[in-house]
Structure 1
Amino acid sequence: MLETDCPECVCEEAKVDFAPKPESVTSYISTRNSTVATTLTIRGLGKIPVYKGDPTWISPKIWNFISEKAVLMRPSAIRICNGSWHEAHELSQILKNKGLLEEMTSLENVYVARTDPSDTMRVEKNTFIVTNSRSEVQPNRTVTISRAKNFQSMLAQWMSPKKFVQEADERFPGCMRGRTMYVIPFSMGPIGGRFSKNAVQLTDSPYVVINMRVVARVSSSVWDAIGNGDFVKCVHSVGVPRPVLHRLKNNWACNTSDIFIAHILEESEIWSYGSGYGGNSLLGKKCLALRMGSYMGLKDGWLAEHAAIISITDPQDQEIFVCVSFPSGAGKTTMSAMLPALPGWKIKVLGDDIAWIRWKDGQMFAMAPENGMFGIAADVKEDSGKILIEALKRDALVVNCATTSKGRLMWQGIEGTLEPEETVVDWRGETWTKDSKSFRPPAHPNCRFTVYTSNVANVHPKWDSPCGVPISAYIFGSRRPDAYPLVLETNNWAEGVLLATGMRSKVGSGTDRKSDGLVNDPMSMRPFMAYNFGKYVDHWLEMGKNREKVPKIFHVNWYQEDDNGNVIWPGFNENIRVLEWIFNRVRNPTDESNVSTSVIGKTPKSLNMDGLPLKIDLKKLCEPPPTFWLKEMAEIRSFVNAEMGDDKPQQIEFMLHELAAKL
């Protein structure tokens, strides 16, 4: 297809479009005029149509931002978005007619997109943090380190403001020619919430618009929440101005040879160019809620972490809340949607990916800032992912999965449900059947779904609480085939932070960083670190000091392998057996009848194995030899020396020395 037209830029006749489904009409609609399709004159750009929203709703401060970027990027029209169901339906139908979305006939309001094969994951190598001083992002070095002289940090990449201007000037001028610039008002956290963050994203991708209303809270009421106050400014373009004279793959516009993502911390600005993939284009998620959020947290005394928030309820209806921090692709979302194998136990989810954590009333509270889930669909199976599969039956967007002739979704792990006559169109757009010789993985390994948190069957009633919930434990997890324990309770908050600082894991499918071995991923935040690593770890240590109700810290590893390379622990719904032990440690910390104690921490003597057909050597899974921990401490020391330089907290050095001596 040669994309030389602009169907979504056509200014239709004015009509009311700010309306959710009739059953959820809100009271303020009648007080506002959304029938506007007007023309504004912007100095430096001229007359430009502005439609589907009333410009008078928007404060001069926000209009200055919109106008300035319109002059830079030169769109043909501006559309003011409102997050309504009608808006999403209209844009979805436009994209369906263009061949970018496929509607699943057997499901309710479920669409599939196939991207350009080069635009399928986060691009870490082109993601930058912009500050005046390099030391705000990367370590100071006045001492020699044991690594190469030209040491390249594997954490945040720094860029100077001067270099940013140069890079932006090579990409953004005129990048929206022939396209509509969509103005998306959104809130991370409940709109108007005390701890929520307001933002405005400009984008030329209608696909981004319909995804943003799921992962964030998009609404015209955000204009009121911002008023004349501050907001995060987000600028995104696929980098394909019209007319486009090259052939688009899968009708997907992107410019992956020139991807550029930058976070200007002091200005609260995020710029993204060249990619339509969610991790690079849905700027409220990783960019705002994690990178920008962690910097805000440093200044204001809270944490923004790559973690799910779940509740664990025992058969007696006693409930605790925990944060679960795993690297991408290691099972946060699957754990959030667990159907426990033990009778009477329940898991409920508040958020599957990001937690904002702060002290309140003497307890640590965690809030989920997102409105939806953006998870990996590939490998979600019927037996271990029933809740997720049910959630994908309505109001969902899926990218880079396969579809079948019977209007179903298809990916690795559920191919067995295919019927002999059922044909499959895989994520690359190629057609085959179950029995054909051309059978291949139906979905990209990073095949993603976007669903509303409220549509997930095990959602917790407090999932959208503006203050969050009190957490009793923080669970870190790694994907390691070696002897790292199945579960470990650390001796205290500080030592838990130390082990999290040295976390290593196999790389998941959500990033362009590839490695066959273990990669350091401190606190599961390696791709999302936004400021000096030494200060980040010190901030973690300070969060646990001089507090009475500090959450316990646990580390888990579901992925230990035997000598033949087989994963030993059954995982998935069976992980409730480990969570039961964690639950009991939180509820009865003085009861150590089921605890083995070592220098590093506490592990279970036994787990509830009722109904488990496997024979598990728990001692092997939970108690590695001291030599393992000596090597682990050496790895942590090497990593922190390299990545922290002179900014290494003294407490980290002290604990490394003390634990090594005890071992």
Structure 2
Amino acid sequence: MLPTQHQFVVFSPIQLQRFQLTDSNYVVLSMRIMSRVSNDVWDALGENDFVRCIHSVGLPRPVKQRVINHWPCNPERVLIAHRPAEREIWSFGSGYGGNSLLGKKCFALRIASNIAKDEGWMAEHMLIMGVTRPNGKEHFVAAAFPSACGKTNLAMLQPTLPGWKVRCLGDDIAWMKFGEDGRLYAINPEAGFFGVAPGTSNKTNPMAVATFQKNSIFTNVGETIDGEYFWEGLEEEIKDKNIEMINWLGEKWKIGDEGACAHPNSRFAAPASQCPIIHPDWESPKGVPIEAIIFGGRRPAGVPLVFETRSWLHGIFTGACMKSEATAAAEHKNANNKSFWPGYGENIRVIEWILRRLDDEPNLGVDTPIGVVPKKVSICIAA
């Protein structure tokens, strides 16, 4: 077994330790990127105040049987068990990141949520971002979207409005606790990004592309014969459109061939410290004060681009009731099958409206049964 020791936030108001044992080199290397690994863990460790994580791909070494799609695993005997009362996670038979990188969703959301309930804080599936207005005032915002609905893109947003700046503190998980001043503070318990690769490009998320140029791991993506990564969404950026590739199944592939080159859920793991717009306070033990929480997803028909709930209770109810489509909806598209709202960097226009509402600026919204929706002229859509 390969031992790994992981610690998330050291000497913070929210501090948890986790140890993981695994027989997967892939897990060791990935978690070295995704979590804070330090000898300081021994100084913070008590008798029984850490979470035990045990993982095995389920194939004893040396592997003598056929490996499925190059992944050592035991799909017939997969077992993933979360034991909140015992502060334990068991994972057997799977090498998939969600089942093997136990410091992510298994620990930082599921077990942490149980610990948070006992200790009076929250573990949430949210990004954390700092948004600075042209006047220099910075606001911190958290946002919760389902997986593959744009958390990483929003966290690393490049504003199209002049004078605005966005800096990233985290793209996936937030631990939140009220401070002595009564404000809600959030920290990022992770040390890296584990992003969905397909669709990520210099057009959609140039900051993510810049982040994973070194010290990164790509999972289930395609590879060109000259050793470059490839996935759907990079067709316009690759120099040689006819270059031969190996797809995620290990088969020869070219652009235009049947099927996808990369798995739809293929991933990149990259150190957050390499992000060009990482916030200087992204590892602050105290965290940053959250002024707004956004719930979002892929919008079905009949839902406005943005609306403000009337209270925290209304907001919690709305967030719990929100629906999201698995793929881009057919509704809200024009004759060219393009969404009417361009998204990506243009989303700063929605955030601008949210921040203006925080300042109680008048004449921005209309009261409706679902909450306050923007007036027609209140969101800046000018070029």
TM-score where L is the length of structure 1 = 0.55
The runs of at least 4 consecutive aligned structure 1 residues that moved more than 6 Å come to: none
State whether structure 2 residue 233 is matched by structure 1 residue 413.
yes
Structure with the greater alpha carbon radius of gyration: 1
Q: Which residue of 1 aligns with 2:382?
A: 610
Distance 2:48 2:91 in 1: 24
Residues 381 and 244 of structure 1, relative CA distance in 2, 3 Å threshold: closer
State whether structure 2 residue 344 is matched by structure 1 residue 572.
yes
- TM superposition shift of 1:250: 4.6
Q: CA deviation digits over 1:156-188, x for unaligned, max 9? A: xxxxxxxxxxxxxxxxxxxxxxxxx12211112
- TM superposition shift of 1:206: 1.1
Aligned counterpart in structure 2 of residue 583 of structure 1, from 335, 352, 355? 355
Aligned counterpart in structure 1 of residue 281 of structure 2, from 462, 466, 472? 462
Residue pair 1:484, 1:560 contacting (<8 A) in 2 also: no
Aligned counterpart in structure 1 of residue 20 of structure 2, from 183, 201, 207? 201
Q: How does 1:513-528 map to 2 (within 5 A)?
A: none
Aligned counterpart in structure 1 of residue 363 of structure 2, from 577, 593, 600? 593
Aligned counterpart in structure 1 of residue 254 of structure 2, from 413, 417, 433? 433
Q: How does 1:392-403 map to 2 (within 5 A)?
A: 392-403=212-223
- TM superposition shift of 1:228: 3.2
Q: Which residue of 2 aligns with 1:135?
A: none
Residues 245 and 464 of structure 1, relative CA distance in 2, 3 Å threshold: same
Q: CA deviation digits over 1:415-445, x for unaligned, max 9? A: 12331452211111112333xx635422111
Residue pair 2:235, 2:241 contacting (<8 A) in 1 also: no
- TM superposition shift of 1:234: 0.5
State whether structure 2 residue 322 is matched by structure 1 residue 503.
yes
Distance 1:421 1:196 in 2: 51
Residue pair 1:311, 1:320 contacting (<8 A) in 2 also: yes
- TM superposition shift of 1:409: 1.4
State whether structure 2 residue 40 is matched by structure 1 residue 270.
no
State whether structure 2 residue 72 is matched by structure 1 residue 253.
yes
RMSD: 1.9
Q: Which residue of 2 aligns with 1:320?
A: 139
Q: Secondary structure at the match of 1:489?
A: coil
Distance 2:182 2:277 in 1: 29
Q: Which residue of 2 aligns with 1:388?
A: 208
Aligned counterpart in structure 2 of residue 561 of structure 1, from 329, 332, 337? 332
- TM superposition shift of 1:609: 1.2
Residue pair 1:486, 1:560 contacting (<8 A) in 2 also: no
Query: Match of 1:284, as an amino acid?
Result: G
Residue pair 1:378, 1:445 contacting (<8 A) in 2 also: yes
Q: Which runs of 5+ in 2 are unaligned?
A: none
Residues 420 and 285 of structure 1, relative CA distance in 2, 3 Å threshold: closer
- TM superposition shift of 1:600: 2.1
Return the structure number with greater helix share. 1
State whether structure 2 residue 307 is matched by structure 1 residue 488.
yes
Aligned counterpart in structure 1 of residue 55 of structure 2, from 231, 236, 254? 236
Residue pair 2:122, 2:175 contacting (<8 A) in 1 also: yes
Residues 577 and 560 of structure 1, relative CA distance in 2, 3 Å threshold: farther
Comparing 240-249 and 304-313, the one that deviates more: 240-249
- TM superposition shift of 1:566: 4.5
Distance 1:411 1:562 in 2: 25
Distance 1:285 1:242 in 2: 26
Distance 2:266 2:318 in 1: 31
Query: Match of 1:490, as an amino acid?
Result: T
Q: Which residue of 2 aligns with 1:446?
A: 265
Residue pair 1:490, 1:602 contacting (<8 A) in 2 also: yes
Residue pair 1:560, 1:569 contacting (<8 A) in 2 also: no
Report how many aligned residue pairs link the two structures.
378
Q: Which residue of 2 aligns with 1:70?
A: none
Percent identical: 42
Distance 1:420 1:320 in 2: 43
Residue pair 2:310, 2:371 contacting (<8 A) in 1 also: yes
Residues 196 and 351 of structure 1, relative CA distance in 2, 3 Å threshold: same
